[in-house]
Amino acid sequence: MYGDNPALTSQPIVNLGSPAASANLTGLYLQAVLVRVNSQATLERVRTFLLTHTPLSASGAAPRTFGEAVQARVAVGTTVQRLVYIAAALTLLVAGCSLAVVVGGGLVERKRPFTLLRLSPPPRSPG
């Protein structure tokens, strides 16, 4: 397997009926192992064995189950989604403030000529 999602792998996964590997596999880098266990205690023993007998993954993460990998991806997706929402909210806030400033400036500019017209005397008629 070349990833932590069995749905995306294109290679067959072995089971108890599969023939034993005849090649020397000691030089291969271990990226993923699929192990089915019946209890949480057995899972933790397997995790401890893998942690103490294999090098850490390229990301430096400890061995984890597919469910834990999915939870980590969901957490990252949720964080990115929140950041996008915050950026959109800040953009709308800035746009709203800009609109308020423009409307306020337009009202002040229109008010000034009407005030000057009221203060100035009416024009005199010729004659």
- Whether 16 shows a pLDDT value over 90: the answer reads no
58, 25: one domain: yes
Buried-state track 4-18, b at ≥16 Cβ within 10 A, e below 16: beeeeeeeeeeeeee
Q: Are 32 and 4 in contact (CB under 8 A)?
A: yes
- Which of 51-55, 111-115, 122-126 is predicted most confidently? 51-55
8, 54: one domain: yes
Residue 96 forms part of a structural domain: yes
73, 48: one domain: no
Residue 103 forms part of a structural domain: yes
User: What Å distances lie between residue 82 and 85, 90, 96, CA to CA?
Assistant: 5, 12, 21
What is residue 22's three-state secondary structure? coil
Structure-token match 């850490």, residue found: 56
3, 60: one domain: yes
The model carries a pTM of 0.54
- Which of 16-25, 52-61, 66-75, 79-88 is predicted most confidently? 79-88
Residue-range definition of the domain harbouring residue 105: 66-120
Q: Are 34 and 1 in contact (CB under 8 A)?
A: yes
Band of the pLDDT at 1, cuts 50, 70, 90?
A: very low
The mean per-residue pLDDT over the stretch 52-61 comes to 72
41, 78: one domain: no
Structure-token match 């893998």, residue found: 50
Residue 85 CA to residue 92 CA, distance in Å, equals: 11
49, 9: one domain: yes
1, 43: one domain: yes
